[in-house]
Chains A and B, each alone.
Chain A
């Protein structure tokens, strides 16, 4: 077996196009998942039953499902229900946002819980409403406290986007797959894909470690 690394350079732009899609998908999914996750996380701590129960049900339901099945739902089945096809990218974005939100929500919930009740009361007593207190005091602190977990989850989302492969989205893994089916250089291509993912995820987890050390966990 001899290696032919030119396969990477010859198809470099095509592969990078896939990587761009992967990053787009990951960024939108992280932003969307985090936003929805904050709302659901707050819902998980709500004292109103009609908010608490749906939020809890949503989180527990999503966390029992394989992501691949959730992706199938939004790509193949939701179009049947709403009677309109959803494009590959849009459906992947929706699936990732909803799925990852359930994981972000649990992190946010823990983050909010880590903040003392006194702060909320202090905010109330100085005349802030619930939303204002959340918006200006609680959520920013919760996000800061949970930064390492959030980054870890963001890395997971980034890796998870490779599953968009199954609905034919031309992300990084699929681009490599397409090149592979033409050039037949599986070893080189998958090593390259693995290396790129590794570099991105490894640097993210290093940042995460630094943050943890700064906070004096470890």
Chain B
């Protein structure tokens, strides 16, 4: 009997230490603390950034406010809406260790990331594309073989270019120049240091729309990778994930989602990025019956 007890205690301890998080109850945590704490981006236009008036705004922040409203309704009490700025390096660990209830940013949903956290439904669809100067006369991505392409460090775009080099898609291989951020890439492209800059199509559209000589640039049509964005949620909390997904579906169906899409990505939005057919279909397919 004693042995059994000892054994099960050890097993318990081991479980606690190895899994770390055992089925966190995020909804209860939010209700108990009275705070809804979400991680947001700063500098990811237009998902989360500081605008000209220095206000922290964005598409994902608008959606986060909708989640906040829905949470207040569900829990039947007032909740503080707290945003904390995260970056690509901190966003996953901070949800994993329970400091944030979720991250409403612009993270690509990938399988390796599923090891440590969960993800919501896809709320945005984009992929790696190339921005080039019109005057250089490229019409397809392959035309850039042997040229210099820039990308941001650690991005899925950088990995995409590396993989295309490895697979022999570019022949001869392109020279990859890795920058710390998009503004540098844009400068390098303009000054002729690189021939193309690679990042997610939606971001390229934002970059292109912001420069003065916008008409000198074009985005090559082909999508070189597929980047579905989703919100980061705590691992093993199916209740909370269901709740967030349900809210997303309600927004897809009742038009709130499209309203925000128009606001940020419409023709008069911060980053004009017309919804592709694939994207539209994806939203439709994800709208599970309520």
Task: Indicate whether A and B are direct neighbours in the complex (CB within 8 Å).
Answer: yes
Residues of A at under 8 Å CB distance from B?
Answer: 75-76, 79-80, 83-85, 87-88, 166, 168, 177-178, 180-184, 186
Does B187 interact with chain A (Cβ within 8 Å)? yes
Within 8 A of A (CB), among B145-201: 180-181, 183-184, 186-187, 190-191
Contact of B90 among A80, A178, A183 (CB under 8 A): A80
The majority secondary structure among interface residues of chain A is helix
With a 10 A CB-CB cut-off, give which of A83, A85, A182 has the most chain B CB atoms.
A85
Which of B62-70, B106-114, B205-213 is near enough to bind chain A? B205-213
A-B contact pairs, 20 of them (CB 8 A): A75-B87, A76-B87, A76-B89, A79-B93, A79-B94, A83-B97, A83-B99, A85-B39, A85-B86, A85-B90, A168-B181, A177-B184, A177-B187, A180-B183, A181-B184, A181-B211, A184-B190, A184-B191, A184-B212, A186-B191
Does B227 interact with chain A (Cβ within 8 Å)? no
Contact of B94 among A83, A88, A168 (CB under 8 A): A83
Residues of B at under 8 Å CB distance from A?
Answer: 39, 42-43, 84-87, 89-90, 93-94, 97, 99, 180-181, 183-184, 186-187, 190-191, 207, 210-213
Q: How far is the CB of A190 from chain B (nearest CB, A)?
A: 10
Given contacts A83-B99, A186-B187, A76 and B90 within 8 Å (CB-CB): yes
Question: Which residues of B have CB within 8 Å of A79?
Answer: 90, 93-94
Q: How far is the CB of B211 from chain A (nearest CB, A)?
A: 6
Contact of B211 among A87, A88, A182 (CB under 8 A): A182
State whether A166 touches B180 (Cβ < 8 A): yes
A168–B90 CA distance with the chains assembled, in angstroms: 14
Question: Which residues of A have CB within 8 Å of B97?
Answer: 83
State whether B210 touches A181 (Cβ < 8 A): yes
A182–B206 CA distance with the chains assembled, in angstroms: 11
Question: Which residues of B have CB within 8 Å of A186?
Answer: 187, 191
Contact of B85 among A87, A177, A180 (CB under 8 A): A87
A181–B207 CA distance with the chains assembled, in angstroms: 9
Extra contacts besides A79-B94, A83-B99 (10): CB < 8 Å: A75-B87, A76-B87, A79-B90, A85-B84, A85-B90, A166-B180, A168-B87, A177-B184, A178-B183, A184-B211
Given contacts A76-B89, A178-B183, A183-B212, A168 and B84 within 8 Å (CB-CB): no
A88–B86 CA distance with the chains assembled, in angstroms: 10
A184–B190 CA distance with the chains assembled, in angstroms: 7
Of chain A, the residue at the smallest CB distance from B42 is A168
A166–B180 CA distance with the chains assembled, in angstroms: 8
Q: How far is the CB of A60 from chain B (nearest CB, A)?
A: 28
In order of increasing CB-CB distance, the 7 nearest A-B pairs are A181-B183, A76-B89, A181-B186, A184-B190, A80-B93, A79-B90, A83-B97
Question: Which residues of A have CB within 8 Å of B210?
Answer: 181-182
Q: How far is the CB of A81 from chain B (nearest CB, A)?
A: 10
A88–B43 CA distance with the chains assembled, in angstroms: 12
Given contacts A83-B99, A166-B180, A180 and B187 within 8 Å (CB-CB): yes
Of chain A, the residue at the smallest CB distance from B43 is A168
A180–B86 CA distance with the chains assembled, in angstroms: 25
Question: Which residues of A have CB within 8 Å of B94?
Answer: 79, 83-85
A83–B86 CA distance with the chains assembled, in angstroms: 12
A95–B98 CA distance with the chains assembled, in angstroms: 26
Question: Which residues of B have CB within 8 Å of A83?
Answer: 94, 97, 99
Question: Which residues of B have CB within 8 Å of A166?
Answer: 180
Q: How far is the CB of B189 from chain A (nearest CB, A)?
A: 10
A167–B290 CA distance with the chains assembled, in angstroms: 43
Given contacts A76-B87, A168-B42, A177 and B212 within 8 Å (CB-CB): no
A80–B93 CA distance with the chains assembled, in angstroms: 7
A182–B212 CA distance with the chains assembled, in angstroms: 6
A80–B96 CA distance with the chains assembled, in angstroms: 10
Question: Which residues of A have CB within 8 Å of B181?
Answer: 168
